[in-house]
Each structure stands twice: as structure tokens, then as C-alpha cells.
Amino acid sequence: MEYAALVGVYKHLEGTQSTLEKRDVLARTFADSDAEQLPIVVTLVQGHLFPAWQAEDLGVSSSLTKRAIAKATGIEEEAIDDRWRETGDLGDAAAWASENETQQTLITTDLTVEDVYTTLRELASYEGGGSQGRRIDAIARLLSDSTPTEARYLTRTALGHLRIGVGEGLVRDGIALAFLDGDEDVEAVERAFQVTNDYPLVARTAREEGMAGLSELGIELFRPVRVMLAEKAEGLEDGIESIAEEPGDVLLESKYDGVRIQLHKEGEEVRVFTRKLEDVTEAFPDIVRAVRENVDAETCVIDGEAIGYDRETKTPVTFQRFSQRIKRRYDIEDLVERIPALVYCFDALALKGESLLDRSLETRIDALERVLDAEPGAIERAENERVTEEESAREFYEGALEAGHEGVMLKNLGARYQPGRRVGYMMKAKPTMETLDLLITRAQYSEGRRSDFLGRLFLACRDDCEAETDADGSEDDRTGRENDEQRFSEVGRLATGYTDEQLRELTDRLEALLAGREGQVFDVEPAIVLEIEYEAIQPSSEYDSGYALRFPRFLRVREDLAPADSDTLSRVEELYDQQ
């Protein structure tokens, strides 16, 4: 398949706002791809060359890509930089440079999707001296064989920001329409993806084996499943009443202020994954040791929460301090010594080669407790208590708060594990006013001492309100900014709470996500989640959400959350009503 054909699909997708049309375009593209091309096409339309749970990194930065563009076209880097700043899209700058190239390649070949896919994935394997130069040469070769339009999307793909309005939901719907009976089988595709996190595999299975094949896809060692998510209870008593018909069917567990992790073990091999499905094993050698020595199972998958603690006081450290460990790549042992990790285990998803996802929570906990030999300060069973009466539940809740935890989790002991879902079988109860996890959608440079930093940040929630659909199937863009098929509604501007070091780190990350500008304000790809505290929520016509946070303040970057985990407009409205 020629890359030009896929680029034509990209242009069509980017040029329409209609979700139904995007779905239909994807379905036709998937159906027209042959058996070998289908996994590649499904991968490329998502804009990421590897699934989140694989640790491979292309090692491609904006500056490296800019050098490759210059090498391929003969255009000076300064001119490319100027065009980039003007448009906010290095892909557009690559297209412009390709149109105005000053050096012509004597021999060019038509790019294929296989060539683009293979060449870009190979970048992750380049190591040692000269690896950056090899990456530049490889990207420059692809760009030299590209048309200007192909150069735009190739550059975006290399950087991981394709910007064609396609997210997981649209890929799911496209697969269902291409190979099954459409809307009726979307649930089966969704379930298969939640347990595999691999749409190329799901698409191939749907095409070759249909519904029967999808139902056979399940949990697999070292391929994490989406974690089951909790809803927010109005209060402890309300949560107990909502989660089960009988209080005795409710389990209380302490809610820890840490990092949700999924532990996979096969013999001596242990891998640690975050809620975002990232493999962080290398950053947590203390967790790996604790699992090897204290989990008596040849194979298993365990759900838990990791917190950091102070060796001297034996008390939990703040999430912000502990989160330093998530992406640490150097001086790991020193950080382990200063901020050791303690894992609280609360669920078993698989044991001895058997999936437990469809078993009751009570059965899964029994399995966990059979294989877990707790080691205080390293790996323990989450503090828990079965509800017997309201007074004891209240005492457990208050005890959790006094111990420095966030609150409690309430779980239905009869419920099966449903990856990636908020299904009402698990709730959290903690004091309000609750903080909000929000995305940065726009940014502006500060003035004065901090003028080099993007210190004025526009905050947005996910807009989960239904969009009106026109007669032609297109969606009315009534509010919010968009990324993939998701809409976002802004709720305020942030300018306080971060240190200079935190702001410098944020600026470095944001500058790689800039996507155009209007005056002094830059659009930003909604990729970074911040936890925000505030004094109150008030009605406002200034923001498209209809609400504004009063005196918002930065608390921390939620490295453990993906954009899809950020709070919704419905949640903002709910908190407003609770004031």
C-alpha cells in the first residue's frame, strides 16, 4: 500500500468534524487493507508506533526532527524554526520546507506504509554513539522521498502527534463496522481492547475469527489490562447504600495517595505497569524484589497501589515527592534509598495461568491472600474491613484519614473485574472540597522574571455532554476544544502554585505540544494532566464550560493519569452543586 493512499485518508479524517464520517472512512480503510497491511494501518492511524505498555521509545525530539527536515530539504534550521513558531506545527513546517527545498534528490522512490512503519519503529533500536545521527539520517531519507503533504504527516507521526481527530473510540467503531455487524458488536471490540490494549491484534482477530475470536482474547502476562475505575460517592453512607443491596457485601479499603500499579510475575521475571500502561519496572527495583520474594505463585497478575514512605518516621510521603520515581532513568538506587516504595495489594486478576476477571471480588481476594506473604514496609495487603454496621464503617473511614490516607474505597464483593470501566461496583469516599484533574489546552508565556516560561495555563475538563448531531450526520461544534474525537471545555486559568523548577519542566514538555497560536496564546495538545485545588466553582460566561475555578492553584502533575482519566464537565457540575 502506497503511503500516499494512507495520507489521503489522513487528509479526509482531518478535514471532517463528523464522527460518523470518520468512522466510515476508517471502516473502509481497514476493510480494504490486506492481511499483512491491516495491523500496520491500524497502528499508523493511531499515530503511535508502539502500544503504551511497550517500553520502546523512538528517541525523536522536535529538535532532532527539525535537523532531519533541514538535511532532507536544504532549508536552514532557522527558517524551519520560524515557520514552526508561526504555525505551531512542525509537520506544517516540514511541508513548507519540502515545497521550497533547495536541494533535489536524484533518485526518489514512492513511499509505502510498510517502509514508513518499519523505518520509524527501527529508530527505537538505535543505541550508543552516533545513534542520534542515524535517527536523523533515517527520517531525512523518508522525507526526501516524500511529497510536501506526506512530509507533514510523516513528521507528525515521528513526533507522536498525528492530529487527525482519531482516538481509541473511533478505531473501535471502525473495526466493528469493517468486520462485524457494526454498532451491535462495538461492545465486543471494546472488551477485547480493554484486556489486550492492542488494536492491531483486535482488528486482525475480528477480521479472521469474528466474534468468537474476540471473546477468546484475554489477559496475558506482561501485557497489562486497563484498570477498573471507581466512581465518587457523595459520602460514606451513600456509597455503602449505592454499591450493594446488603451492607455485608461491601468491603472497605484504605484509599492511598500513591501510584496505581499492575504487577505481572512469571517465575523470577516481574514487570511493573502504571495506570497509563507504562512499563516502569526499571524505576522500581524494590517493588520487583518484594514481589519475587513475597508472592508465592509461578505466574500471576496483581492490582495494587504503590506509595512512598519516610524511612525514619515510617509515614507516607506526598505523591509529588514519590512521583519523582515514576520516570527516573538514572541514580535509581539512590532514590530507592531516599524514597522506598511500599506496595498495597488489593486484587488478583490472574493466577497460575487462569484469568480471574470474571470471578467475584471475594474469590479474587481469596486468591490474592493465598499467595501473598506480606512483608511490612515492602508489600502488604491493603488495609480492609468488611462492613458490618454503620458505626464500624465510620471508624474505619476516620482511621484511614488519621493515618494520612485520602479516604476509603468501597467495593462490591460479588462484582467481577471490568477493565477500564466505572461501573458502580467500586466507589471512593473522601472529604471535599475535592481537587480536579484537568488538562492544559492553551498556554501563554509569563511576564517579568518568568517570561521564559509558559506560566499562564488554560485548564479544561473533558466535555462528556452529548453533542447535537445534524441531519447530515455531522456533529454540532457547540462548545469546547477537540483532540481526537474528545471535546474539552475550559474552566479557568492557572498561574500559581508551581516552583520555578516545576514550571521549567512543564514549559519543556508544553513546547513540544504546541499546536498553533492566536496572538500571544498557544494551542496545546491536551496531553498533560494537572491536579488543581481551588477555592470555589462559580458560574462564568468567560469559559465555554459555563464555569470558572476561583483561585485555582497547581498541586502536581498527574504522571499516573492519561488524558482520558481527567475529570469531566459532569464532575465539575456535580462539585458546583455540592458547594
- 228 DSSP assignment: P
Q: Indicate whether 386 and 445 sit together in one domain.
A: no
Let me know if residue 38 belongs to a domain.
no
What are 173-212's pLDDT values in tens digits?
999 999 998 777 999 999 999 999 999 999 999 999 999 9
Backbone angles phi, psi at 290, to 5 degrees: -60, -40
Let me know if residue 417 belongs to a domain.
yes
Q: Indicate whether 367 and 454 sit together in one domain.
A: no
Domain count, the chain: 3
- Is the full-model pTM beyond 0.85? no
For residues 459 and 494, is the Cβ–Cβ distance under 8 A? yes
Range of the domain at 311: 229-429
* 471: confidence class by pLDDT, cuts 50, 70, 90: very low
Mean pLDDT of 511-532: 87
Q: Indicate whether 117 and 151 sit together in one domain.
A: yes
Let me know if residue 218 belongs to a domain.
no
pLDDT for 482 beyond 80: no
Q: What integer best gives the mean pLDDT of the chain?
A: 89
pLDDT for 51 beyond 80: yes
pLDDT (0 to 100) of residue 476: 40
pLDDT (0 to 100) of residue 483: 55
Q: Of 22, 66, 71, 255, which is the active-site residue? A: 255
Q: Indicate whether 444 and 501 sit together in one domain.
A: yes
Let me know if residue 398 belongs to a domain.
yes
Let me know if residue 83 belongs to a domain.
yes
- The residue out of 130, 159, 188 marking a domain boundary is 159
Place of cell 500500500: 1
Q: Indicate whether 541 and 514 sit together in one domain.
A: yes
**Position with higher pLDDT, 291 vs 101:** 291
Quick one: what percent of the chain has pLDDT higher than 90?
62
Q: Indicate whether 233 and 148 sit together in one domain.
A: no
Place of cell 525523536: 60
pLDDT for 425 beyond 80: yes
Other Cβ atoms closer than 10 A to 319: 20
CATH number at residue 122: 1.10.3260.10
Mean pLDDT of 3-12: 96
Phi-psi region of 265 (alpha: psi -120 to 50; beta: other; left: phi over 0): beta
Q: How many CA atoms lie within 13 A of 50 on its CB side?
A: 19
Q: Indicate whether 303 and 340 sit together in one domain.
A: yes
pLDDT (0 to 100) of residue 395: 93
Highest mean pLDDT among 269-273, 315-319, 328-332, 552-556: 269-273
pLDDT (0 to 100) of residue 449: 75
- The residue out of 159, 181, 202 marking a domain boundary is 159
Q: Indicate whether 440 and 421 sit together in one domain.
A: no
For residues 455 and 265, is the Cβ–Cβ distance under 8 A? no
Q: Indicate whether 422 and 488 sit together in one domain.
A: no
Q: How many residues in total does the chain contain?
A: 579
| CA pair distance 410, 387, nearest whole angstrom | 9
Smallest Cα–Cα separation from 405: which of 338, 362, 335, 342? 342
Let me know if residue 30 belongs to a domain.
no
Backbone angles phi, psi at 427, to 5 degrees: -135, 160
Among 456-465, 466-475, 523-532, where is mean pLDDT lowest?
A: 466-475
pLDDT for 469 beyond 60: no
In this structure, the strands spanning 250-255 and 384-386 are: antiparallel
Mean pLDDT of 10-38: 95
What are 305-346's pLDDT values in tens digits?
999 988 888 788 888 788 888 877 788 888 899 999 999 999
**Position with higher pLDDT, 480 vs 322:** 322
pLDDT for 485 beyond 70: no
pLDDT (0 to 100) of residue 470: 37
pLDDT (0 to 100) of residue 433: 65
> For helices 131-144 and 62-73, what crossing angle results, to 10°?
50
Q: How many CA atoms lie within 13 A of 452 on its CB side?
A: 6
Mean pLDDT of 54-58: 85
- The residue out of 376, 403, 429 marking a domain boundary is 429
CATH number at residue 372: 3.30.470.30
**CA of residue 444 relative to chain centroid, distance:** 24
Q: Catalytic annotation on 255?
A: yes
pLDDT for 220 beyond 70: yes
**Position with higher pLDDT, 516 vs 488:** 488
Query: Which amino acid appears at position 198 of this protein?
Result: D
Q: Indicate whether 562 and 545 sit together in one domain.
A: yes
| CA pair distance 275, 321, nearest whole angstrom | 18
pLDDT for 480 beyond 60: no
pLDDT (0 to 100) of residue 403: 86
Q: Indicate whether 391 and 254 sit together in one domain.
A: yes
pLDDT (0 to 100) of residue 106: 55
pLDDT for 10 beyond 90: yes
Mean pLDDT of 363-392: 94
